[in-house]
Amino acid sequence: MKHDNAKLISDIGELTALFTDAAHLDALLQNIVNKIAAHMNADTCSIYLFNDETQMLTLKATKGLRAGSIGKVCLKPGEGLTGISFKERRTVCEGDAARNPGYRPVPGVGEEKYCSFLAIPILRGQTRIGVMTIQSVKKNYFSDEDINIFNAITSQLTSTIEMVKLLSSFAHAQAGQIVEAKPTRLKFIQGRGGSEGLAIGDSVVIVPLSLESFKVPKGSKASGIDDFRRAVAQAEKELHEIERAGEERQIGMVALIFSAQIMMLKDRAILGAMETLIGKGMPPEDAVCTVIQEYVTRFDLMANEYVREKRYDVLDVGRRILVNMAGRVDALDQYAGKVVIVRELLPTSVLKLSLQGVAGIVLLSGGVTSHMTILARSLHIPLVIVNESRLLTVKNGTRILLDGLTGYVCIDPDEAVIRAYRDKQASSADVKRIQREMTDQSRTKDGVRVVLLSNINLLADLATARAFKSEGVGLYRSEFPFLLRGDFPSEEEQYVIYRRLVHDMKGREITFRTLDVGGDKMLSYYDYSKEANPFLGLRSIRFSLKHRDIFIHQLRAILRAGFDADIRIMFPMISSVEEFVLARDLVRESARGLKAEGVAHQASPFIGAMIEVPSILEVIDELAAEADFFSIGTNDLIQYMLAVDRTNEKVAEFYFPHHPAVLRAMKRVADAALRHQRDISVCGDMAHDPRYISFLLGIGIRKLSLDARHLPRIQQCIAAVDTRQAELFAARILKKTNVNEIARMLDADVLEKVSIKLVTGMAKK
């Protein structure tokens, strides 16, 4: 080995940081080649990107070739070794390039003096994006290991380079800025990916509705009372249709969220007031506007913030009647196929948007682990979080493209960009292939068994969980049915949902997390007194213990639903041993009650605690003596350990899953579980991030629960880990205190796994 590849890998963190720091797209590519050339001790490193219009490879950045050649050197696919690598989608490595019959040095760039030549195609699936080349004056300079490393780096950079390539067509915009609108230019913004998926659609900026636009101008013909009644009947029919759509999509009790609007539509006081005004000669349109406005004002005056939100329901009802009266386009379609730009969202709004077939959401507040984002993932709505309020000024009807994975939002993209993205979408065929390649059980490279479970938010998630061979449910977020409806669900209503979950998972283990409301999961129908810090307030288990009747209903519903199944119950946000014992005793009491009533139920479920609050770390051994299992909720554990609001985009840069305090806390929990022979899992977002898998296995975690769509990737990742090496790796990480150093070590480790995969792939060929 002539140069330090290990250093190159460990510097990948820094390299990727360049993507966000680079102020200029061309500079970004230049940074990449500079960095790689320096690390590889090579004489040149260059990036060529394929231009769809000219069908040529263009030199976009180079370190070592003549600088003036950037943008000027163009190669046909198949031309020279670079062109061959691109055309044939293969690595070309020559110790003495001139001996290859395909060798054609590009005239005027000074290539002739380089002997060793390595070209790696930049591919996404089968789609060719470009080529990265690297050269040295020395003969036989690049080793097989270099090829693997270079391959790994190229695949790591593919999505960024692809995006750069797309964006380079709209010239010199700066990352993180919106470029002023020019009809032929694309504007773009870099946000954070919240819910994966691609959306292309016309924008709708959601702002409070204006009823005024429906008022009848003086002298114009107004509708009659019959039109009004027909419009009301039509509105009711539409709302029932939405309810049914919700049921069909198996979203649980969600359809009930529309009950509030249906009730408003049937409400004698509201309709009566409208009819009275119409009877007095007011045009029906104006009567609707007047009465709705009165109600909006009343809701606005309510002390309770969550009741105030009802203003949107009453406005929605009013708009629906008015749209029907005006014979305008079906109100149901108002968000169908659209990309919605909105400052804040309620769970019910996410659901309504989903039922109406929204294409995607750009959210101007919230974090990637916020519950609106989690809900959007369950509903398969691509969502990007962007901290840029100028997006609210985008004109409705502007074409928007958003990529929920990378967080890119393009405004008014041209057809080539849309085409490129649509191709990208087509490569989800890769996912299907991986699905076929999945095994029923997951094992590490050295054969250690790891159990992969799913996090389930809505029943609709079960289909993905089953498709990706989930071994059970490690976290059922039971609060979602509570969040998505207009009132507390009864024991019976909960039983129906839980039973369906048990039935659909056929004998596999299911962990019910009891109600976890509060924080960013406020119940619209609960009268919270205003809390300055809801994440530190009446949240999770505190809420359940304060409202025993609600808690007991839930526990009874769970115990009944799991009478013949392997169900487990866990409590969120446990902060002391007494709290756990109190909650656990309520489970036992509920079971005794059911027994006395002669109702079939699960008498002895496993009962465990989520590890999310730092205080519990200090009493973890005592807790282990009481609890049957632990599940580490890393989303909250990070939030509370680091004092960083997980939903606040402004402090997202301080939210470090790999902070040494977090990693050491996890190790303490894992050790305690091991000492007391307690089951332990990780169910926060760290469980689906390949970067943390070695570490988690290294500290002894053998059970992970994650969003089902990540299961294939994580199974693959586990298969590349040797547990003995992982233990050494975790021990090394746990000695470190510097967050950046830890990040680099984690990146280097995951990259090594990528290169292992590449080596295996090549061996097969």
Residue 219 exposed, middle or buried by CB count within 10 Å (0-12, 13-18, 19+): exposed
Active site residue 601: no
Q: Which pair of structure tokens corresponds to residue 61?
A: 């950045």
Strands (E), 358-431: 360-363, 383-385, 399-403, 408-411
Q: Which pair of structure tokens corresponds to residue 268?
A: 């004698």
Q: How far is the CB of 646 from ligand PEP (least distance, A)?
A: 8
Q: How far is the CB of 692 from ligand PEP (least distance, A)?
A: 13
**Binding flag, residue 477, ligand PEP (CB under 6 A):** yes
**Strand-by-strand arrangement of the 408-411 sheet:** 187-190, 408-411, 399-403, 198-205, 339-342, 360-363, 383-385, 192-195
601 or 658: whose CB is closer to ligand PEP?
Answer: 658
Q: Which does 195 bind (CB under 5 to 8 A by kind): Mg ion, ligand PEP, none?
A: none
Closest CA to 312 of 375, 388, 245, 257: 257
Distant-in-sequence, close-in-space partners of 722: CB < 8 Å, separation ≥ 6: 444, 445, 446
Which residue bears the tokens 């129908």? 525
**Binding flag, residue 635, ligand PEP (CB under 6 A):** yes
13 or 633: whose CB is closer to ligand PEP?
Answer: 633
**Binding flag, residue 684, ligand PEP (CB under 6 A):** yes
Q: Which does 645 bind (CB under 5 to 8 A by kind): Mg ion, ligand PEP, none?
A: none
**Binding flag, residue 704, ligand PEP (CB under 6 A):** no
Q: How far is the CB of 509 from Mg ion (least distance, A)?
A: 20
* Angle, alpha carbons 340-346-349 (nearest 5°): 50
Catalytic residue among 45, 115, 289, 683: 683
Q: Which does 709 bind (CB under 5 to 8 A by kind): ligand PEP, Mg ion, none?
A: none
Backbone angles phi, psi at 135, to 5 degrees: -135, 160
Q: Which pair of structure tokens corresponds to residue 749?
A: 């480790």
CA pair distance 275, 279, nearest whole angstrom = 6
CA pair distance 703, 680, nearest whole angstrom = 7
Closest CA to 522 of 498, 507, 540, 545: 540
Q: Which does 714 bind (CB under 5 to 8 A by kind): ligand PEP, Mg ion, none?
A: none
* Residue 552 neighbours by CB distance under 10 Å: 17
* Angle, alpha carbons 153-157-163 (nearest 5°): 165
Q: How far is the CB of 464 from Mg ion (least distance, A)?
A: 21
**Strand-by-strand arrangement of the 74-75 sheet:** 74-75, 56-63, 44-51, 127-136, 116-124, 92-94
CA pair distance 388, 187, nearest whole angstrom = 13
Stretch that binds ligand PEP, among 135-143, 244-252, 347-355, 630-638 (CB under 6 A): 630-638
**Binding flag, residue 404, ligand PEP (CB under 6 A):** no
Catalytic residue among 371, 658, 688, 710: 371
**Binding flag, residue 683, ligand PEP (CB under 6 A):** yes
Stretch that binds ligand PEP, among 282-290, 458-466, 627-635, 754-762 (CB under 6 A): 627-635
284 or 366: whose CB is closer to ligand PEP?
Answer: 366
Q: How far is the CB of 633 from Mg ion (least distance, A)?
A: 4
Binding mask 600-619 for ligand PEP (x = CB under 6 A): ------------x-------
554 or 723: whose CB is closer to ligand PEP?
Answer: 554
**Binding flag, residue 474, ligand PEP (CB under 6 A):** no
Q: How far is the CB of 63 from ligand PEP (least distance, A)?
A: 43
Assess contact for 392 and 201: CB atoms under 8 A.
no
* Residue 575 neighbours by CB distance under 10 Å: 18
Q: Which does 683 bind (CB under 5 to 8 A by kind): ligand PEP, Mg ion, none?
A: ligand PEP
**Binding flag, residue 461, ligand PEP (CB under 6 A):** no
Touching ligand PEP, residues 516-535 (CB under 6 A)? 516
613 or 708: whose CB is closer to Mg ion?
Answer: 613
444 or 554: whose CB is closer to ligand PEP?
Answer: 554
Task: Work out which of 634, 681, 723, 755 binds ligand PEP, going by CB under 6 A.
Answer: 634
Torsion sign across C-alpha atoms 247, 252, 253, 255: negative
**Binding flag, residue 633, ligand PEP (CB under 6 A):** yes
Assess contact for 689 and 657: CB atoms under 8 A.
yes
Torsion sign across C-alpha atoms 440, 441, 442, 443: negative
**Binding flag, residue 568, ligand PEP (CB under 6 A):** no
Touching ligand PEP, residues 488-517 (CB under 6 A)? 516
Binding mask 170-199 for ligand PEP (x = CB under 6 A): ------------------------------
636 or 749: whose CB is closer to Mg ion?
Answer: 636
Torsion angle (degrees, nearest 10) of CA 9, 15, 16, 18: 180
Distant-in-sequence, close-in-space partners of 40: CB < 8 Å, separation ≥ 6: 3, 5, 8, 134, 146, 150
Binding mask 228-257 for ligand PEP (x = CB under 6 A): ------------------------------
Q: Which does 634 bind (CB under 5 to 8 A by kind): Mg ion, ligand PEP, none?
A: ligand PEP
Active site residue 45: no
Binding site for Mg ion (CB under 5 A): 633, 636
475 or 641: whose CB is closer to ligand PEP?
Answer: 475
Torsion angle (degrees, nearest 10) of CA 149, 153, 156, 162: -140
444 or 648: whose CB is closer to ligand PEP?
Answer: 648
288 or 574: whose CB is closer to ligand PEP?
Answer: 574
Q: Which does 475 bind (CB under 5 to 8 A by kind): Mg ion, ligand PEP, none?
A: ligand PEP
Q: How far is the CB of 378 from ligand PEP (least distance, A)?
A: 12
Q: What's the gap between Cα 587 and its chain centre?
A: 33
Stretch that binds ligand PEP, among 117-125, 237-245, 433-441, 628-636 (CB under 6 A): 628-636
25 or 573: whose CB is closer to ligand PEP?
Answer: 573
Which three-class secondary structure state does DSSP give residue 56?
strand
List beta partners, residue 399: 202
CA pair distance 517, 482, nearest whole angstrom = 9
Backbone angles phi, psi at 659, to 5 degrees: -60, 135
Q: How far is the CB of 186 from ligand PEP (least distance, A)?
A: 35
Assess contact for 478 and 500: CB atoms under 8 A.
no
Closest CA to 145 of 762, 765, 764: 762
Q: How far is the CB of 192 from ligand PEP (least distance, A)?
A: 16
Q: Which pair of structure tokens corresponds to residue 192?
A: 């954070």
CA pair distance 76, 58, nearest whole angstrom = 9
Q: How far is the CB of 534 from ligand PEP (least distance, A)?
A: 13
442 or 634: whose CB is closer to ligand PEP?
Answer: 634
Q: Which does 243 bind (CB under 5 to 8 A by kind): ligand PEP, Mg ion, none?
A: none
Report the interface residues with ligand PEP, using CB under 6 A.
475, 477, 516, 612, 633-636, 683-684
Catalytic (active-site) positions: 371, 683
